[in-house]
Chains A and B, each alone.
Chain A
Amino acid sequence: MPTATKGWGNASQFLAEAGIREDTSYYRGFTAEDEKAVLTVPMRIQEAWERNDADMFADTFTENGSLLMQDTQLTSREEIRQYMAEGFRGGLKGARVRGGPLEIKFLSDTAAMVISEGGIQLAGESTTSPERAVRVTWVIVKQADGGLKLFSHQSSPLKG
């Protein structure tokens, strides 16, 4: 049964604002209003990969957002923008990601943690190869204007 909303916003509205078609299958079992709202952040990121759009990607992060890519730790929106812009022109051209949520925890009124599974698919690939399968911790924050941003993303390889 969906729990009462704690004001994380409306997923359909967030997606419409971002120009993304709502794919309700992405939510899996996380269909409470607040859960769906939080999951629009990973959906925005997935769409940015789909479009190879570094600006859409970077603008999903907070100003001081952090992202670990391979062995490069990025620690600001602008570092992320530059890294992904170069990536989408180079080795990540045509790459996309697939995945979905495993856990959602609301840590406070303004912070949520999502655990997801998935991985990157390089150009021409239709499945995530086992060596690129990951589990991810996303820290998502609600900003003063009610908008949701990505504060931190780190993946761990499933193999190891």
Chain B
Amino acid sequence: MTSTASSVVDREAMLNSYYGPFTSEKEKEVLGVPLRLVGAWAKNDAAGVANTFTEDGILILPGDVLKKGREEIRAFMQAAYSGPFKGTGVTGNPVDVRFVSDDVALLRTHGGILAPGETEIAPELAVRSTWVCVKQDGEWRLAGYQNSPRGDGATLRW
């Protein structure tokens, strides 16, 4: 097998493992949204992360982060990649995919930020994420993304 063919096979295996039980074309299509965000994050590409969102998409993170619109998200990520998120990656696997309609879907993933050089998420960085996705002009984007602590860090909350 050539190295190119082998990397295609590896990519295929990685994708199948990521999709897990969500194997319909429709599900795989919307699950491309987290893949795009993970890819942009791996390059610490703030504009790439922001472009995963709709023009007026919303980002909510613990630690009093509420960013409205691509430009605020891009500026926030830019600053984070120069500081606390520098060199980090992000990972996540889908645990739920639900369609409201053909152009609105809700994804939930378990994942988190990977410290530089790490391949496993530290327990205190584990999160549960909700991705509110909409299909605009044939492409799925984030109308809203939010995460919350998973595990012992999850406090009494409504």
Contacts and interface: CB of A to CB of B under 8 A. Distances in A.
Contact of B146 (A111, A156, A158): A156
B132 A132 contact: no
Contact of A157 (B106, B132, B134, B149): B149
Contact of A105 (B95, B143, B147, B152): B143
Interface string B141-158: 001101111111011111
Identify which of B95, B104, B151, B154 gathers the most chain A CB atoms within 10 Å of its CB.
B104
B104 A108 contact: yes
A154 interface: yes
Nearest to B95: A73
B146 A75 contact: no
B101 A156 contact: no
B62 interface: yes
B64 interface: yes
Given A107-B134, A108-B134, A160 B60 contact: no
Contacts of B150: 71
Interface in A98-151: 102-103, 105, 107-111, 113, 115, 118-120, 131-132, 134-135, 137, 139, 141, 151
Contact of B132 (A91, A107, A120, A155): A107
Interface residues of B, number: 36
Interface of A: 49, 64, 66, 68-71, 73, 75, 91, 97, 102-103, 105, 107-111, 113, 115, 118-120, 131-132, 134-135, 137, 139, 141, 151-152, 154-160
Interface of B: 56, 58, 60-64, 66, 68, 95-96, 98, 100-101, 103-104, 106, 108, 128, 130, 132, 134, 143-144, 146-152, 154-158
Query: Which 9 A-B pairs have CB atoms at the shortest separation, nearest pair first?
Result: A160-B62, A71-B154, A160-B63, A120-B158, A111-B104, A111-B100, A154-B130, A156-B148, A137-B146
16 contacts: A68-B130, A69-B158, A110-B100, A111-B101, A113-B58, A120-B156, A134-B157, A135-B66, A139-B106, A141-B100, A152-B106, A152-B130, A155-B157, A156-B147, A157-B62, A159-B64
